Structure 1
Amino acid sequence: MTSDRSQNKKVILLIVDTLMDTTIQAAIASGNAPAIKFFIDNGHYYPNVVSTFPTMSVTVDSTLLTGVYSDKHKVPGLVWYSQKEKRIINYGSHIRELYKLGLKQSMEDIFYNLNHVHFSKQHKTVHEILKEKGIQTSAINTLLYRGSNSIQLKVPFFLKLTGLKKNLSSHSPDLFSYGAFRRFNPLKKHTRFWQKYGFNDKFAAHEIKYLIKKNKVPPLTIAYFPDLDQRIHKHGRTDVEGIQKVDKQLQEILNQYPSWEEALSNNIWIISGDNGQAWISNNKTEALIDLRDLLNSYRIVKLKEGVTSKDEIVLCVNERMSFIYTLDDQKVRLNEIANLLQKDDRIDVIAVKNEKTVTVTSGIHNGQLHFHPEGEYFDEYKQSWFLEGNADILDLSITDKRIQYGDYPDALARLYSSFFSHEGNYLIVSAKPGFEFIGEGSPTHIGGASHGGLHKEDSLVSMIVTGTNTTPKYLRFLDLKDWLLSLVQ
C-alpha cells in the first residue's frame, strides 16, 4: 500500500448505506445507473468488502474512523445495555422503542452520547489524526464524526420539544455538515422534519455540490447517504429503484464539473456500502424470531419500566442479531439460555464467552466450537487462533492449520471483539438468512431484507474506487482507515 498524495487529489468517500453487489448488478442491468457504471468502468470494483459485527451502521462507522473493532472503539451496536448506567441504549432502531425508553434520553444518546461519551477517546479518528497534521477534513451527515473543533449544534425546533437542549456542544472536523443541525450551504434545502431533518441523500449531495462550487473540497471528505437502506429493508436485496435514486444524486455531483472525466482527474472517489442486508421471508410467523416467546420462562426487562429488582434478563435486538444479558449470573446462567435457543433452527449462531474463550453453538449444527486468539491456526488475515470442536458451526474450512472463511467472513475476529465491546454478562445470537429477531417494539421487515447478523449476506458490501491503484491491506472496513490516511497524507 503506497501513497497517492503526490498527485494532490482530493479524497471523496461516499458511504451509501447497504450498497451491495446484488443491487448494483440489477441496477446496471436495467440501464438506469449511468453514474455508478461510469465509476466502475473507470476504476476498480470490489464486490466483497467485509463489514463489522454487528452489521449496524453505527458500529461500522466507528470502525471506519478508528481502524479498530468494537472491543476498542466501544460502540457495541445500535441497541445495547449499559451495565454502568443500568439502562438500554438505543441509537435509533424504531420510534416505538425510543418513545418507551424516553425520547429525551434517546435523543441525547443519538445526537450527543454516541460521539462524545460512548465512542472511545482511546483511539483517534481519521479527522483528529489529520487535524494534528494540519490537513483539513469534512464530514457530511456521518453518524460518527468526532473531530477536534469545538462547535455548537443548533437543535431543530421539534426535536427541542423532546427536552433536548437548544444547543449541543460538540467536537467536529474542520468542515462539518449535519442535517438541520449544521450545514455549509445557507439555502435551507431538504431539512424539514418530514425530510428527516436533512438526514437524506438529497441533503448530502446538496452539501457536496456546494463545496465543489465554492472550491472548498478539503483533502478528505466523508459523506453518508442513508436512503437506500430503507428501500432495501422494504423491497429486498435487488431493489433497483433505490439504486437509481442514489445514482441520480451521483450524477448531479458529477455534473458540477465541466465533464465527468474531469471529476475523476481531480479526485479519488470511493463509493462504498457499510453493511449488507439478508433476505427476510414473506411468512410473518416464520420470519420473526420472538425472543420474548423463546425466553418466556424468564422475567424480561420492559422498555418503559426500565430495570427492576424482579427482572432477570435484558433483550437488545439489533434486527438479525441480539445481545441477551443476564442481570444475575448466579440465578440465570447464559449456558441455560443458549440451550433453549438451540432448539430453534432459525438461529445459526449462539455464542457465549467464558473468560477469554468463546463457545459457539447453533440451532442447525450439533456440538460446540471453542475459540480464542493466539493459537496454532492462522486465517487469511494472518490472525492466529486456538480452535477446538465443530468448525462447521462457523463454516470454517481448515487445511494444514490454515483457516478459510465461508458464510461468515472474518467470523472469529468479528465475533470475538463483540464480546469485549462493553461490560456485562451476555450472549450473542445471529439469525439465518430469511429470519430476524424481535423484542418489544422492534422494527420488522417481512418480505424485504434486514441486517445486523454475522452471515455474508449482512456482511459483504461493494466498494468502487477511482483515481488510485492502491488498495487497503485487506478488503475489510477494519483496514480502510490506514488506507485513507495513506491517500491523504
Structure 2
Amino acid sequence: MRRKKVIMFIIDSLHPKVFDDVTQDGSAPVLAFLRKKGISHSRVVSAFPTMTPTALSSIATGAYADKHKVPGFIWFSEMSQRLVNYGATPGAILKLGVFQTVKNLLYNLNQEHINPRIETFHEILEDRGYTSGNINFFIYRGRKKREPHLPLLIRLAAWLRLRGPVFGPENLVLGECCLSPSLQGFRGPAGPFNKFGFNDRYSCLAASELIRRGKQPDFMMVYLPDNDGYSHRMGPLNAHPCVRKADRMIQTVLNAFPSWEHALEENAFLVAGDHSQCPVGPNHTTVLLDKMLAQFRRMEMLSWGAARRYDITICPNERMAIVYVLRNQESVLPGVVDTLSGDERIAQIMWREGERIRVIQGGSRKSLTFWREETYKDTFGVHWNFNGDLSVVDGEVRNGILHFGEYPDAFSRIASALESQVTPRVLLSARPGFEFYADDSPIYPGGGSHGSLHESDSIVPAVLAGTDHDLPNLRVSDFFHWLMELLPAPSR
C-alpha cells in the first residue's frame, strides 16, 4: 500500500474560539470539511514563551526551548554578547539596520540560533529518503544548499552586504527571497506591499503549484502568517475575516487535487495554530520595565562595549519578558525580583536557584519552588516535586497527578525556558490584558498580544485529517512526533 504524503498548515495566532466559530457557521468550508472528516482538538499547548520563533522551533524539532535553544523573538545572545531581534517593530529595524535584521531572520535563526545538535523534521525526513518542502515557514533548516536571491530593495537597504547560501529542504520557498527550482517561473503576490511574498496567498499558491506540476514532496510545511498581524491590530476574537481568508487560501491547495475527498485519499493533513493571542485593553495596560528597573545599569539594543559593563538587559516579548543579569548576580537578581514582585500586573516572576526553580506571583508575592524529582507526575508524564503555593501556576494534585489549569504544562514550559540559556535571568509572564515594554519592543494596546504562560496565549486548535493517527500528546511539539510516525524510517 502506497504511503500517504503529509501536508501541514500552520496558521499564525489561530484562536480556538475563532476556529470554532468559522467551522461551525459554514464560513470556512475547507476547515469545516477537514474537521468533519478528521480528528479535532481544541486545547493543544504551545511552547513558552508563546512567540513565533520559539513555537515554530518546537514544531520543527519536537522539543521545547531547553533543547532547540531559541528563547524568544527578542533575546540576548551569549555567543555574540549582543541583543538578537528578528525585526519586532519598525523602530527596532531602524536601530539594528535592515542588514542585521534580515541576517538574523533569514540566516542566523536557522544556521546559528537553533541548536546545531538537534535535527529538524526536514533533516530527518531527507535522511530517511523522503522529499521535503518548506513554504514560508521560518524554521527551514535542511540538507540542501540553496542560494537566496533577495529582492533588490532589500539588498540595497542592506548595503548589498547580504549574501551566502542557506541550507534547507529540496523544495524551499521563502517568499521571493528563495524559490525552489521546481517552481521556476512561478509568480505570486510579492514586492514590498505584499511582504515580499511572506503572505498567505503566496504560500498557498506556491503549494498548489507544486501539486499541479507533479512536484509535491512527501512532506510539505505551509505557513500562513497573515492572521498574526490582523489579530494584533483588531484583537484575536475579531479575527474571523482573516481566518476565513486563510480558509480560501487553503482551498486553493486542496483544489489542486481532483476533489477534496481525493486529497484526503492521497494525503494526511494537519491544520493548527502555533500560539494564540490575548486581548489587550486600550489604556494603562503596559508594564514599563525600562522605567521600573531604571536603578540598574541597562544594556540597550545599541549599547556598545562588553556586556559585563552592565547590570541587566531587558528583552520584552510582548506579554513575556526576559531580564538578563549580566553582572553582580548575588545583588542584582534579588533586586530585580524585589522591585517587580509587588506588581499585580505580573502573573509570574521566575528564576533558577541551582537545580530548583522559584516562582513568585506578582502583587500577592505568593511563592512556589519546584524541581525534577520522581514524586509527582504531570498529565504529560513528566516527574516533579515542589513546595509552596501551587496556585501561583493554577496547579493542583489530584490522585498523585499534577494538573494545571490556566497555565497549561506550567512546570515543563517554565523549566524549558529557564534551561534554554546559561546566563542568570528572570522571566516574567503578564496577567491577561497586559504587556511589557522597553527599547522599541512591540505593544498592541486595544488589540491582541501573546508571549505569556497563560492559556489565552498558549492554547491552539488542531485538526488532523486523512489519517486515523492522532497526536501522541496535545502539544505543538508533538506535531513533529506525529509526522515522524506517519513517515517512519525505512525498515532494514
TM-score by length of 1: 0.95
Q: Compute the displacement of 1:451 (Å).
A: 0.6
* Residue-by-residue CA offset, 1:125-168 (whole Å, 9 max, x unaligned): 11111111211111111110110111211122121121354533
Partner of 1:17: 12
Q: Contact 1:313 / 1:324 at 8 angstroms: preserved in 2?
A: yes
User: Contact 1:329–1:425 (CA<8 Å) still a contact in 2?
Assistant: no
Partner SS for 1:153: coil
For 2:54, which of 27, 50, 59 is the aligned residue? 59
Superposed, which structure 2 residues align to 1:88-237 within 5 Å?
88-161=83-156, 162-163=158-159, 165-184=161-180, 185=183, 186-237=185-236
**Cα separation, 1, equivalents of 2:459 and 2:130:** 31
Residue 478 (structure 1) shift: 2.3
2-structure distance, mates of 1:313, 1:100: 20
Stretch moving more, 357-366 or 423-432: 357-366
Aligned-partner residue type, residue 81 of structure 1: F
Change (3 A) 1:102 1:329: farther
The answer to whether the Cα contact below 8 Å between 2:26 and 2:32 also exists between their aligned partners in 1 is no
Cα drift, residue 310 of structure 1 = 5.3
Q: CA deviation at 1:340?
A: 1.2
Q: Does 1:280 align with 2:280?
A: yes
Output the CA distance in 2 between the equivalents of 1:195 and 1:428.
35
Equivalent residue letter for 2:174: Y
Alignment partners' CA distance in 1, 2:451 and 2:278: 9
Shift of 1:17: 0.5
> Partners of 2:425 and 2:80 in 1: how far apart?
16
1:365/1:392 contact within 8 Å kept: no
Residue 480 of structure 2 is matched in structure 1 by 481
State whether residues 312 and 332 of structure 1, in contact with CA within 8 Å, keep that contact through their aligned partners in structure 2.
Answer: no
Quote the residue 1:435 is aligned against.
434
Which segment drifts farther, 295-304 or 315-324?
Answer: 295-304
1:401 aligns with 2:400: yes
Aligned length: 482
Percent identical among aligned pairs is: 32
Contact 2:311 2:328 in 1 (8 A): no
Conserved? CA contact 2:329–2:424, under 8 Å: no
Cα distance between partner residues in 2 of 1:166 and 1:431? 37
Give me the whole-angstrom Cα distance separating, in 2, the residues matched to 1:425 and 1:287.
28
Match status 1:37 vs 2:32: yes
Decide whether the 8 Å contact of 1:116 with 1:146 is kept in 2.
yes
Q: Deviations over 1:410-439 (max 9, x none)?
A: 110111011121231111000011011111
| Structure-2 separation of matches of 1:329 and 1:476 | 38
Find the residue that maps to 1:154 and give its secondary structure: coil
- CA, structure 1 residues 164+268, in 2 after alignment: closer, same or farther (shift >3 Å)? farther
Change (3 A) 1:7 1:392: farther
Amino acid at match of 2:176: A
Q: Distance in 2 between matches of 1:30 and 1:195?
A: 30
Distance 1:380 1:164, change over 3 A: farther
Partner secondary structure for residue 168 of structure 1: coil
Deviation, 1:233, is 0.9
Offset at 1:305? 3.0
C-alpha separation between the residues in 2 aligned to 1:232 and 1:307? Answer: 38
Would the aligned equivalents of 2:103 and 2:162 in 1 still touch at CA under 8 Å? Answer: no
Question: In the alignment, what sits opposite 2:243?
Answer: 243
The runs of 5 or more residues in structure 1 that have no matched partner are 1-5
Q: Deviations over 1:387-446 (max 9, x none)?
A: 011110011011243200111111101110111212311110000110111111122211
Report the equivalent of 2:334: 335
Per-residue deviation, 1:200: 0.5
Measure the CA separation in 2 of the matches of 1:188 and 1:167. Answer: 23
Q: C-alpha displacement at 1:279, in angstroms?
A: 1.2
Distance 2:389 2:160 in 1: 50
Instruction: Report the alpha carbon displacement of residue 29 of structure 1 after superposing the two structures with TM.
Output: 5.0
Q: Aligned to 1:215, what secondary structure does the other structure show?
A: coil
Name which of structure 1's ranges 68-77 and 179-188 shifts more when overlaid on structure 2. 179-188
Of 72, 75, 85 in structure 1, the residue corresponding to residue 70 of structure 2 is 75
| Equivalent residue runs for 1:301-340 within 5 Å | 301-306=299-304, 311-330=310-329, 332-340=331-339
Shift of the 194–334 alpha-carbon distance from structure 1 to 2, 3 Å rule, reads same
2:255 alignment partner AA: N
2:99 and 2:162 in contact (8 A); partners too: no
CA distance in 2, matches of 1:45, 1:331: 49
With over 3 angstroms needed to count, the CA separation of the structure-2 counterparts of 1:306 and 1:462, relative to structure 1, is farther
Within 5 Å, give how 1:386-465 maps onto structure 2.
Answer: 386-465=385-464
* Closer/same/farther in 2, CA of residues 303 and 167 from structure 1, 3 Å limit: closer
Distance 1:213 1:381 in 2: 41
Q: Distance in 2 between matches of 1:232 and 1:326?
A: 33
Post-superposition offset of 1:106? 2.2
